[in-house]
């Protein structure tokens, strides 16, 4: 923000540059190809080790609130999971906002998923063992793509979805995790909503009203209450002094402006029960020191209530972005992140 005020660099450009970092050296154990699925850039990672069976295929959607992050930024992450799980990974370089407005990002990832499932066998992948995976806003997209795929009759069903500290709802910003971690880097409470508004190209002046849920009409508030009720969150995750606030002073103008935030491809937790009931087996990773922790807990409960098998990994010392940082060497690696990496790999191997 400081550089942006000085006119040196925009915030988005700065974050894109920082996340891209320095690319790793060549990996002799992997076959890596840059391709296009129609207009969408992808990078495919294939283990060089021979196999007698078709591998699982994973579509990886990177984080960055639809505005930053890239194939290059997630090079280490995709290499790691490809080698450790003996899977084929497809890193999707979906187009970014603001150059390409929302929901281009979701649409690109959905199109890439459909394209890959049709040609999966060309890369030694079993079309019945395809998984969507993503972290942060990439986890949002992974969940949204999995929901969109439930109605496809022309393709096999997705085998699983892996959601790494995903953003899943833009209704309540007063959940226990938002209160507990409101000032915890890197995803502060206000920062979360500000980035979401930028993603949708909405005026930042409405931020405080959105934080108070003034964009939710009474009928929708009652509908969402069943899914977003703090009572659905285990007591161990609630501060002793936590109280649910009653701040909703509804604004019709704000509702019209913020309506895209309530679409399931932006807030997958708001999908109808008929969609949730058709979702594949799911892995969810949450972090204690993350405003998005309770999104994961609430989605876990919704899935389990509909009989969906869920593997849950909670990092008690974790924070938002820890899995991304874990593959950048010892300086940015954390013991608790290794637990998360290992559980993701074990889940992949079980598919």
| Two structure tokens written together for 139 | 């986890």
Three-state DSSP string of 143-169:
HHHHHHHHHCCCCCCCCEEEEECCCCC
Phi, psi of 44 (to 5 degrees): -105, 130
For the question of residue 290 being annotated catalytic, the response is: yes
For the question of residue 136 being annotated catalytic, the response is: yes
Instruction: Single out the catalytic residue among 70, 87, 91, 136.
Output: 136
Q: Is 222 exposed, middle or buried (0-12, 13-18, 19+ CB in 10 A)?
A: exposed
Residues 6+ apart with CB under 8 A from 253: none
Torsion of CA 67, 302, 207, 65, to 10 degrees: -10
343 CA to centre of own chain? 17
Instruction: Single out the catalytic residue among 135, 290, 294, 295.
Output: 290
Positive or negative: CA dihedral 59, 322, 16, 1: positive
What DSSP designation does 206 have?
G
**Could you give the residue numbers annotated as active site?**
136, 290, 320
């Amino acid at each position: 923000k400081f550089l942006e005020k000085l006119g040196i660099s925009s915030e988005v450009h700065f974050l894109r540059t920082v996340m891209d970092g320095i690319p790793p050296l060549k990996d002799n154990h992997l076959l890596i190809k840059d391709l296009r699925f129609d207009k969408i850039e992808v990078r495919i990672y294939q283990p060089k080790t021979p196999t007698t069976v078709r591998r699982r295929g994973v579509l990886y959607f990177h984080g960055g609130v639809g505005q930053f992050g890239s194939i290059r930024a997630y090079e280490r992450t995709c290499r790691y999971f490809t080698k450790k799980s003996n899977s084929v990974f497809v890193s999707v370089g979906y187009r970014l906002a603001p150059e390409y407005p929302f929901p281009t990002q979701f649409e690109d990832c959905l199109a890439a998923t459909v394209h890959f499932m049709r040609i999966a066998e060309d890369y030694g992948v079993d079309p019945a063992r395809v998984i969507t995976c993503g972290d942060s806003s990439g986890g949002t997209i992974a969940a949204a793509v999995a929901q969109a795929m439930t109605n496809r009759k022309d393709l096999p069903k997705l085998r699983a979805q892996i959601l790494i500290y995903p953003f899943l709802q833009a209704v309540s910003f007063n959940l226990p995790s938002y209160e507990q971690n409101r000032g915890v880097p890197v995803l502060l409470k206000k920062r979360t909503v500000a980035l979401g508004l930028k993603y949708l190209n909405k005026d930042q002046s409405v931020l405080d009203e959105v934080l108070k849920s003034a964009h939710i009409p009474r009928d929708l508030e009652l509908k969402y209450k069943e899914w977003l009720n703090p009572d659905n969150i285990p007591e161990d995750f609630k501060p002793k002094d936590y109280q649910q606030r009653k701040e909703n002073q509804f604004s019709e103008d704000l509702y019209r402006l913020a309506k895209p935030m309530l679409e399931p491809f932006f807030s997958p937790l708001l999908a109808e029960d008929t969609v949730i009931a058709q979702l594949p087996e799911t892995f969810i990773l949450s972090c204690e020191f993350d405003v998005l922790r309770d999104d994961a807990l609430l989605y876990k409960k919704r899935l389990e209530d509909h009989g969906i098998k869920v593997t849950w990994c909670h990092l008690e010392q974790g924070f938002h972005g820890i899995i991304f940082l874990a593959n950048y060497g010892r300086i940015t690696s954390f013991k608790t992140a290794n637990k998360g990496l290992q559980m993701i790999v074990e889940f992949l191997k079980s598919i």
